């Protein structure tokens, strides 16, 4: 909730001093916001056709948030098999666009968008589909959101392609639903030290807490440092975290003091993403906008903030 517009004692004295000593320059909220709007921001997590949002409104949404470059993450093929919950998870379970959709929008607006590639990892032609779009300029594989073990040959097959093309892989971790067995993901990180992996979603962010109960998707309790996510980031330089969606935001708001410390521990491995389907691009109803302001508020200094909002992604995706 916003603070009411009060005149603080300090500002009262400053204002009073103007009469005696002449004008006093004060940098206000409006000036700070203008400065922030000029700073480049990379959003590593957005989708075309997200819950049927038109491309024109997506473009306006990103510009309203002040995002300079957006990574568009596609869905894989629409198929009925166990890895897609017999088709229920097609379109990333959110009606999002596929590989052709994200490439077309990125090609139409190269100053605003870059695109990724995705495919259901246990399909026989998964490698062929991934290679097709990587050769066309895709900069990331993902969002991998399928019901397979996170240390399975299917995920490893995706990692092999990522290693060949030197691109990161972004995974949606959700207990009993997608990329199962986060407690074993260290095996994948160790098997592919040359591949950068990006963690996202409920189970990834719930596990900032050492005492996390895996079945809880949006925990509200205070955080005990040293959870699986914290350890993966500490122990593996090829592990990154994407702050997008309600899960990323919840990880910060549930315990802001611990979030500040978490961010301070991992300044080079955290990324800003929005992953929100709204059309406003501002206000409390737009999670991407709230995530952006929360990172700015909790980062210990400007250097850390700029890394998370721009520098880390620029380096990771070679933008």
Three-state secondary-structure class, residue 153:
helix
- The Cα angle at residue 146 between residues 318 and 159, in degrees rounded to 5: 40
Contacts of 37 (CB under 8 A, 6+ apart): 66
Q: Looking at residue 38, what is its pLDDT?
A: 83
User: CA–CA separation, 226 vs 230, rounded Å?
Assistant: 5
Residues 271 and 319 sit within 8 Å (Cβ to Cβ): no
Question: Which among 107, 112, 29 is positioned nearest to 66, based on CA atoms?
Answer: 112
Residues 42 and 71 sit within 8 Å (Cβ to Cβ): yes
Residues in the chain, pLDDT under 50: 1-27
What is the distance between the terminal CA atoms of the chain, rounded to a whole angstrom?
36
Residues 168 and 98 sit within 8 Å (Cβ to Cβ): no
**All structural domains of the chain:** 33-316 (3.20.20.140)
Summarised one tens digit per residue, pLDDT across range 198-234 is 999 999 999 999 999 999 999 999 999 999 999 999 9
- The Cα angle at residue 187 between residues 184 and 190, in degrees rounded to 5: 145
Residues 187 and 155 sit within 8 Å (Cβ to Cβ): no
Summarised one tens digit per residue, pLDDT across range 143-178 is 999 999 999 999 999 999 999 999 999 999 999 999
């Amino acid at each position: 909730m916003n603070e009411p517009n009060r005149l603080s004692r300090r500002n009262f004295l400053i204002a009073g001093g103007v009469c005696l000593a002449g004008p006093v320059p004060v940098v206000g909220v409006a000036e700070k916001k203008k400065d922030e709007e000029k700073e480049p921001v990379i959003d590593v997590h957005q989708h075309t056709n997200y819950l049927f949002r038109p491309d024109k409104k997506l473009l306006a949404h990103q510009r309203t948030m002040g995002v300079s470059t957006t990574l568009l993450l596609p869905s894989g093929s629409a198929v009925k098999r166990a890895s897609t919950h017999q088709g229920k998870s097609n379109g990333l379970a959110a009606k999002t666009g596929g590989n052709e959709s994200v490439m077309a929008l990125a090609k139409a607006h190269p100053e605003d968008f870059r695109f990724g590639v995705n495919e259901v990892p246990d399909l026989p032609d998964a490698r062929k589909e991934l290679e097709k779009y990587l050769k066309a300029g895709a900069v990331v594989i993902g969002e991998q959101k399928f019901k397979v073990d996170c240390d399975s040959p299917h995920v490893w097959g995706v990692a092999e392609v990522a290693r060949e093309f030197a691109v990161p892989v972004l995974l949606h971790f959700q207990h009993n639903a997608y990329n199962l067995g986060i407690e074993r993901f260290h095996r994948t990180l160790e098997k592919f030290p040359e591949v950068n992996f990006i963690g996202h979603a409920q189970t990834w962010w719930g596990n900032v807490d050492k005492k996390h109960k895996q079945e809880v998707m949006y925990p509200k309790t205070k955080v005990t440092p040293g959870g699986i996510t914290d350890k993966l980031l500490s122990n593996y330089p090829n592990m990154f975290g994407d702050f997008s969606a309600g899960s990323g935001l919840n990880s910060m708001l549930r315990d802001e003091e611990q979030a500040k410390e978490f961010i301070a521990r991992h300044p080079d491995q955290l990324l800003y993403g929005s992953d929100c389907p709204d059309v406003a691009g501002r206000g409390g109803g737009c999670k991407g906008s709230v995530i952006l302001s929360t990172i700015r508020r909790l980062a210990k200094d400007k250097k850390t903030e700029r890394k998370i909002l721009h520098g880390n992604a620029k380096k990771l995706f070679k933008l």
